[in-house]
Amino acid sequence: MKMAAEKKYKMDMCHGPLFGKIVRFAVPLAMANALSLMFHAADIMVVGKFASAQAMAAVGAAPAFTNLMLNLFWGISAGVNVLTARYTGAQDRESLFKTVHTAITVAIVGGIVLTVLGCFITRPVLEFMCVPEVIMDKACLYIWIWCIGSPFMILYSFGSAILRAIGDTKRPLIYMVIAGIVNVLLNLFFVLVCKMDVAGVAIATKISNGVSAVLVLVALTRSNEDYKLVWRKLTFCWPIFKEMLRIGIPAGVQGALFSVSNLIIQSTINSFGWFAIAGSSAALSLEGIIHSCATAFALTAVSFVGQNHGGRKYKRIVRSVFISMGCAIAIMILGGALCFLFQEELLSIYNSDPEVIRWGQVRIRYQLTFYALLAVMEVLTSSLRGLGYSFVPMIVTLMGACVFRVVWVYTILPMCTGGPMERMINLMISYPVSWVLVSLVNGPLLFFVCRRMLIRASRREFDDLTVK
C-alpha cells in the first residue's frame, strides 16, 4: 500500500503526452515557489502594516544580500536535480543512491558554513550597500537570524530538488503550504503579541523553514523507492559531487553574480532614501511571486530535459523546451498585466503610505510590463543546463545581464539629469534590455545543441537499421 501511494507522486517524463504532464508538474512547483517567496512577502506585509515603514525597509534591504549567499547552493541543487533526473531516466539505481546521499551531506555541511560566514560579513556588506543608518541595526538583526536558520533552507532546496527530479512536485507544495501557514501565524504572534517587529518576522520565517525541511527529509527517509534516504549511509562520493559542481557551479556562480549586480542596483536604490527602499521592496515582492511561475517552468524544463536525456528521448527534449517556454510566457504576460492594472491596490497591501506606493509603481511599470522577456531567458538557460551545458550559458548570462547592468549603473545612469525618480526609471530599464541580450545568444546556442543531438540520434537509428 505504501509503495502504491508513493508511486502516485512519481511521473514518467519519457513517455506519454507532454503538455499535460508539464502543466501538472509545473503548477504545484509554481505554487510552492510562490509560497516560498511569500515567506519574505509576509515579513514585509506584517511589519509594514503593524510596525513601521522603517522596519519594512530594513526587511526589504535584506534579499539582495541573502540571495547572494544562497545562490551558490541553489546552483548546486540544480546539479542535484539534473543528476537525479538523469539517473532516474537511465534507471541507474547505484548512481541515484550515491547522488541522494552525497547531496544531503553537502547540504548539511554547506548550511553550517553559510551560517558562520553570514554572521561575520553582514554589517560590512550592508555598509557597502549604503543601507541608511536609521535602519542598519534592524537590517543586521534580521539577516543574523536568517543566517542561523539558513541550513534549513538548503536542506529543503536539495531535498525538493530530488523529489522534483523523479516527477514529484505535489509533496513539496504540501510541505510549503504547511510551512506558509506556520509562518503567517507566527509572524502575527511575534509582531502583534510579542511586539518584536523585525526580529519577530525573522524568527517566524526560520521556524517555518525548519518545518518544510523536516517534512521533505521525512519523505525521503520513509520512501521505499531508489531515492530513499538512509541516514546511517550518508556519504560523500567525489565523482558524483564533481558532476554536481560541473553542472551546478556555473548556475550558482551565475546566480551569485546576478545577486552582486542586484546588490549594486539595490545600493543605488538605497541612496534614494528609505521610501524608495520600502516601495521597491513591495514591488519586488510582487515581481517575485510572478517570477516564481516562470521559474517553475524553467525548473520543469530542467527535469524533463534531464530525464529524457538520460532515456535518450531526444525529440521529446525539444518539445519539452517549447511547451515550457510557451507556458512561461503566457503566465508572465497575464501576471504582468494584472499587476499593472491593479498596481496601487496591490502595493497598498504592503504599505498604504502614498510615497511608498509611488516608488513601487515605478518598478512595476518598467519591469513587469516586459516580464515575458525574462521567461524566454529563464527557460533557454535552464534547458541548456538540463542537457549538461552550464558553463557557456553562464558566461553569456553574466556578460549580458550582470556585467551589462553594472556597466549601466556606472555609465548610462550618471547621464540621467533628472531627480531620484527619473534615475529610478533609468535604472529599471536596464533589466528588460539585459533579458533581450542574453536570449539573443542562448537561443541560437540551444538550437545548435538540439540540432546536433537530433542529427546524432538519426545517425544512430540509421546504423541500427543497417546492422539489422
pLDDT of residue 207: 92
pLDDT of residue 465: 40
- Round to whole Å and give the CA distance between 145 and 37: 17
Predicted TM-score of the model (pTM): 0.69
pLDDT of residue 245: 84
Crossing angle of helices 197-222/133-148, nearest 10°?
20
Nearest to 111 by CA among 80, 157, 163, 178: 157
CA distance readout (Å), 215 to 145, 209, 211, 232: 22, 10, 6, 19
pLDDT of residue 467: 41
Torsion of CA 61, 64, 65, 71, to 10 degrees: 150
CA distance readout (Å), 171 to 32, 65, 158: 9, 29, 14
pLDDT of residue 236: 84
pLDDT of residue 339: 84
Q: Which pLDDT tens digits describe the chain residue by residue (468 residues)?
A: 444 455 556 667 777 788 888 888 888 878 777 777 666 666 767 776 666 667 777 777 677 677 777 777 877 887 888 888 888 877 888 888 999 999 999 999 988 988 888 888 888 888 877 777 777 888 888 888 888 888 898 999 899 889 888 878 788 888 888 888 888 888 888 888 888 878 888 888 889 989 999 999 999 998 888 888 988 888 888 888 888 888 777 777 777 777 677 777 877 887 787 778 778 878 877 887 787 777 788 878 877 887 787 777 778 888 888 898 888 888 888 888 888 888 888 888 777 788 888 888 888 888 877 888 888 888 888 888 777 777 777 788 778 877 888 888 888 888 887 788 888 888 888 888 888 888 888 888 888 887 887 777 666 654 444 444
Chain center to CA of 309:
23
